[in-house]
Chain A
Amino acid sequence: MAYRPMLEIVALEKRFGSNTVLKNIDLKVAGGELVFVIGPSGSGKSTMLRCCNRLEEPTSGDIILDGRNIMSGTSRDLNRMRLQVGMVFQGFHLYPHMSVLKNVTLAQRKALKRSKPDADARAMDMLERVGLAHKANAYPAELSGGQQQRVAIARALALDPKVMLFDEPTSALDPELVGSVLKVMKDLKSKGMTMLVVSHEMAFARETADRVVFMDGGVVVEEGKPEEIFGAPKAERTRTFLSRVSS
């Protein structure tokens, strides 16, 4: 793979008080690559993801997005960087007081300063892409979990991010709704989006991930192609974890 990383995590460390949750993490995600992060709960994988747009402030280390370090610069620079990093949460976090369309246009209008027609058009394109254009005027409370998560993906995509971060995007969904969200993610991947995904969907990882990273106790234990990690894990901890989740 030609290495011009789109997202690069360098020597990332995160402490909460005396508790070190991330130790010296290095990770590179190439443009168009889908990197899957797995690991037991408490392994620090979500914290790592949240450090990538500084929702969680790293204790030390660097996060380099397309050649620019998001750890330096003013708060205005940081907001501009955040526009380029789409984030999808486990709990969707759609704005309940706004229609689906407004949810997708808010940051376009207020942060990107797009005109209303431009923002609306872009939002409709993205809603179309996640199969929910017909719900543009609905309110989040009227949608299923799967639909809400797809709107959340559209909300992030509408800002034309360079990288998409997914923090357990399907963990809060009923099993029958998971497929619709994974389908959208697969479609994104096929269109060349760079993605860093924390998830327990092992079958999906096997099928679509370019690389799988196994984290435990705040460190990257092992990384490799899905067939390597799932087929022949080298580390004992990886084997134990995989046998426990029995993918």
Chain B
Amino acid sequence: MDRFLDTFFNPVVMAKYAPDVIGGMGVTLTIAAAVIFAGIGLGLALACLRAYGLTILNFFIICYADIFRSLPPLVLILILYFGFPSIGIRLSGPMVLFVVLSLTLAAFAEEIFWAGFSSVEKGQWEAGIATGLGFTRTLAYVALPQAVRLAMPPLVNRVLAITKMTALGSAIGVAEILSTSTTAQSFSGSATPLTLSVIAYLVIFLPMVVFARWLERNSAWKSR
């Protein structure tokens, strides 16, 4: 028991490396927030564009969504970080992480929002168009709010899955939670920093999971 505590909960090691891991939390949170913002924004924009039903454009949107949903983000991260400098595109580690995760989240978000749009009754569109709103305003005021509402529970789950992947940054030296913890682990020779990373991830993601659960329970149409 002592050995277990000493390995995972060594107070000296904890005190020494906690500041590093807390710093890593800042990096994780910043990248996660940027990824959520950009990924959802781009995904929503693509789903809206797809609603216009332009064949050629939709072909490209669907290709993009399918490709980015198929590829493991780590592969893309390694290509962008180690491969792209050879063709003259040099991105920092955090930037690579941000770009890859945003594009991946956008691909999933586009499909989720699109499923939301597809579930909006045809009659809703007709009601908007028949009252002179035209396609774009019907999209914005009638279909979009309903699609977003339908998309919320699956979207939050997907956001969770993708933002956790900020841990992939440890493969390219981004000083996020996992990276700072593994560094601390090799310096200290103790597994305690990994415990710190567990705590750090729980602090960030547990509230999001609880929020997702709450959203799922409250996603039905209500009176107000």
A91 within 8 A of B: yes
Any A CB within 8 A of the CB of B78:
no
- Counting contact residues on chain A (CB < 8 A from B), the size range is 20 to 34
Residue B187 is within 8 A (CB to CB) of chain A in the complex:
no
Q: A55-B126, A139-B224 are in contact. Are A96 and B146 (CB under 8 A)?
A: yes
Contact bitstring B139-165, A, C-beta under 8 A = 1, else 0 = 001100110010000000000000000
Q: Are A83 and B132 also in contact (CB < 8 A) when A110-B137, A110-B141, A111-B137 are? A: yes
Instruction: Fill in one digit per residue for A97-114: 1 if any B CB lies within 8 Å of its CB, else 0.
Output: 101000000110011100
Distance of A62 Cα from B131 Cα, bound (Å): 20
| A118 interface contact, C-beta 8 A | no
Question: With the chains together, A85 CA to B131 CA distance in Å?
Answer: 8
Assuming the A-B contacts A89-B126, A139-B223, A141-B221, are A111 and B146 also in contact, with contact meaning beta carbons closer than 8 angstroms in the complex?
Answer: no
Q: Is the CB–CB distance between B121 and A97 below 8 Å?
A: no
Q: Flag if A55 contacts B130 (CB, 8 Å).
A: yes
A93:B133 contact, CB within 8 angstroms: no
- Cα separation A75 to B134 with both chains bound (whole Å): 8
Q: Is B127's CB under 8 angstroms from A89's CB?
A: yes
Whether the Cβ atoms of B129 and A55 lie closer than 8 Å is yes
Complex: A213 Cα to B75 Cα, angstroms: 67
Does any Cβ of B come within 8 Å of A4's Cβ?
no
* Further pairs besides A53-B130, A93-B126: 13, Cβ < 8 Å: A79-B134, A82-B131, A87-B131, A89-B130, A93-B124, A95-B146, A96-B221, A106-B142, A110-B133, A111-B132, A139-B224, A141-B223, A159-B132
